[in-house]
Amino acid sequence: CMQRVSHYRSGRVLHLHLRIPIDDKLCDLHVIAVYGVSSPMSSAAKRQLNADVHQTVAALLSTYSKHAVVVTGDINVASRDVDRHTGRQEQYDANRHALWRLLQSKGFVDCYVQAHPGRTDMTFKPNGKAVSRIDSTWANEDMLRWPGANGHPRSSICYVRTAAQLRPRAACNTILWSV
């Protein structure tokens, strides 16, 4: 049951608080959807917006650190070299406000990487050309302990057809648990 929906930073961060009945008790789940800044170091305005998004997500993670949390979205940076078709990260991928850095520092797991070790599927495919995996879903330890997860998320990348191209969407980069 939906408890609360909040949005921050011009809609770039969306927080959903769900309360879900599991084994005769109500469990809180916090889903944080993020639309990261593209080329976040290319201008002063983008650097500031990137820092603001980072700060907002950090505050939410701190507030809900005792609950199951999933962070998902188009974060617009690659966390690993293999997440770029060139085999190396762009300079801005490793900026100090890159969301993957924050998530790793808080113990979050990249669900797709954990579910599919060694795979190098891309999520950004302009005009059908695989360029990068900049859409991702991350879960904290509390989420990985939920019934049905057993510490191992099942995650996938789905593709949906748009008017111009076949392109994956972060909303389809999903964690699946049976509860």
Give tens-digit pLDDT for 59-102. Answer: 999 999 999 999 999 999 999 999 999 999 999 999 999 999 99
* Contacting residues for 101 by C-beta, under 8 A, at least 6 apart: 94
> Whole-prediction pTM value?
0.85
Q: What is the pLDDT of residues 150-160, one digit of tens each?
A: 666 666 555 55
**46: its two tokens:** 């983008």
In angstroms, the CA 8 to CA 27 distance is: 24
* 8 Å CB contact between 51 and 58: no
